[in-house]
Chains A and B, each alone.
Chain A
Amino acid sequence: MSNRATPDAATQLEIYRRMALIKANDERSRKVIMNGRLVMPYYSPRGQEVIPSAISVNLTDEDYICTIYRGSHDQLAKGLPLKDLWAEVAGRTTGTCKGKGGPMHVTYPAKGIMVTTGIVGSTMPIANGLAWGSQLRGDGRVTVASFGDGAANIGAFHESLNLAAVWKLPVIFVCQNNEWGEHTAYDKTSNVKVADRAAAYGMPGVRVDGNDPFEMYAVAQEAIARARAGEGPTLIEAMTYRFFGHVFGDADAYMDKARKADAMANDPVPRFRAQLIETGIATEEQLAEMEAAIEKEIDEAVEFALASDFPVVEELKRDVFAEEMA
């Protein structure tokens, strides 16, 4: 691990900015729902901020991602504008998908956010196709498929990893192992590490501390470089912890309280923040300023969303097919 790349100062700051954005956006989302200003199914990514932040600084807008219902962290890290996100989750016509997708189907091709799915395990088969397209064109793009530990037990995981390995596709499978598949702990659903399954497909499998920005950055960089070089896919198992229940409103009684308290005490966001100050990468003032700017941007996004129009009923007939339905 010691010979692995360390992000430079600017990259460290950028990783933190994305983490802070995800954390602040999550806090605001829960607040807005609690206040009754918005009704939506909400799957908090709190606790998993490092993974997409440290991966996405290695990607360009041209690279693709596929993510899942718990995906606002992946989307924001990839550059989804806050206004577009908030308007979409509020079901407004100004949203990324004109309010027709909602939080589980946020799509934003301008930043390579190609699919957000509400079906466990379904990012992987589609990510292969995006990567096949890149392979056919030789455009050097890579595709990142995000999924949770629960998705490692669905058939699509096996089919997709096998095909990607056989076809040497430029795809990176990122399992965000937050220890929970809905209400069931990972160790109750599998006898092996997710990363160890990679061997069965003849691809590298790496288990990494997904809450450590440097480790996550280095592992992602290696996998992305392999993919870009035409050397095929990598399975990354990024270990993390889901701070809250499966979906907003879930009382999370099934989660061990001590384990959860421990994870929260090791919150990766303030931890990295302190590290940046300690190592002289940033000052307290700098970071406070950055966080204030994020809060202001979220304020504006929420107000923009809630002031936007709902889609007209005619939208039911549009986008089903290319031609509007009669």
Chain B
Amino acid sequence: MNAETPMAPANIVKAAKANILQGINAAIADAMEEDENVIALGEDLADPEEGGVCGVTKGLSSRFGEHRVRSTPISEQAIIGAAIGASLVGFKPIAEIMLMNFTTVAMDMIVNHAAKLRFMSGGQTHVPIVIRTMTGTGFASGGQHCDYLEAWFAHTAGIKVVAPSSPKDAYGLMRSAIDDPDPVLFIENLPTYWSPAEAPEKGHRVPIGKANVLSEGSDVTIIAYARMIQEAMPAVAKLKEAGISAELIDLRTIAPWDRETVVKSVARTGRAIIVHEAVTPFGAGAEIAAVLNEELFGRLKAPVRRLGGAFCPVPFSKPLETAFAPQTADIVAAAEALVKS
């Protein structure tokens, strides 16, 4: 790659800092370089279409060819169907569904086919695809462009769900998702694409199903993922000032989630708060809370708390949108209330 391609993965991995978008780009590029069966498709994906609406796949089609990095019509069923079909015959397709709300258009392909073909065929076929999709509040996009719908997919047997919160995890989870022999839904948070942090190392893998303890503590365990990590980190600092020692776990994988790490932590702290941007009812937090109750009943010092999005469509107006998702102050208040109870 020449110096005129700023997104060149070689440059990224050498840099001390990178953002999430670059981490994903580098992971796909490295995988495509290593394995010619890795292919990608989606709306606006190739360079003539600017490498994706946010440029996540910029440079890939120029480097690997438009036969391997293909822009598609706006046809979500056809995109996932093509990914599934190619995966049945040995390819490792990465399909982009631009926004998570658009997965609704392809639910038959994802839920009835990608997730189930291994089981329904008695293991004769399998669907090693990655479905990349972005979402998240913060860009004033209103009710149909920002939803976190991970619970729907986590509720479906046969599909894995990951949601990285850092460039390193984005790279490492993408590599693991591509390696994985089963379908993986890879959720990208749009507003934090450009947040710089430590750059990933080439070849780095983050195991699917393994959480990351970002900060150790003894009074309360905060379990979060995706952009909520950015709300939870300052909450941990504020709680420390208030004399409360909070442990922060970045779940990273929602399905299958790291029960061992979470249960062990809460067994120690006796208190848990689960934070996600998805609406609270029937969300991932409900499942985690249920398991904590099953595993730790009698050892909990306080009821498990959930902090999630308000139970309404994502609103447009800025003050409403800001109030929709949990914020640092909500996490601090919830933790203080738990510790005092």
**Residue ranges of A at the interface with B (Cβ–Cβ < 8 Å):** 64, 66, 95-101, 105, 107-109, 114-115, 117-119, 122, 124-134, 136, 143, 155-156, 159-160, 162-163, 166-167, 318-322
Contacts and interface: CB of A to CB of B under 8 A. Distances in A.
B253 to A, nearest CB: 13
A138 to B, nearest CB: 11
A128 B82 contact: yes
B182 interface: yes
Nearest to A64: B89
A100 B113 contact: no
Contact of B109 (A101, A108, A122, A162): A122
B2 interface: no
Nearest to B41: A132
A107 B122 contact: yes
A208 B17 CA distance: 63
Interface stretch (B8-16, B49-57, B123-131, B235-243): B123-131
Contacts of B87: 129
B121 A155 contact: no
Contact of A159 (B73, B93, B117, B160): B73
Given A117-B113, A162-B75, A108 B124 contact: yes
Interface in B199-232: none
Contacts of A319: 118-119, 121-123
Interface of B: 39, 67-68, 70, 72-73, 75-78, 80-91, 93, 108-109, 112-113, 117-126, 157-158, 160, 181-182
Given A162-B78, A322-B182, 17 more contacts: A99-B122, A100-B121, A107-B121, A109-B124, A115-B88, A118-B112, A119-B108, A122-B81, A124-B81, A127-B81, A129-B82, A132-B82, A133-B89, A133-B91, A136-B68, A319-B122, A320-B158
B120 A97 contact: yes
A284 to B, nearest CB: 41
- Top 3 nearest A-B pairs (CB, nearest first) are A129-B85, A125-B81, A97-B122
B256 to A, nearest CB: 8
Contact of A162 (B39, B70, B73): B73
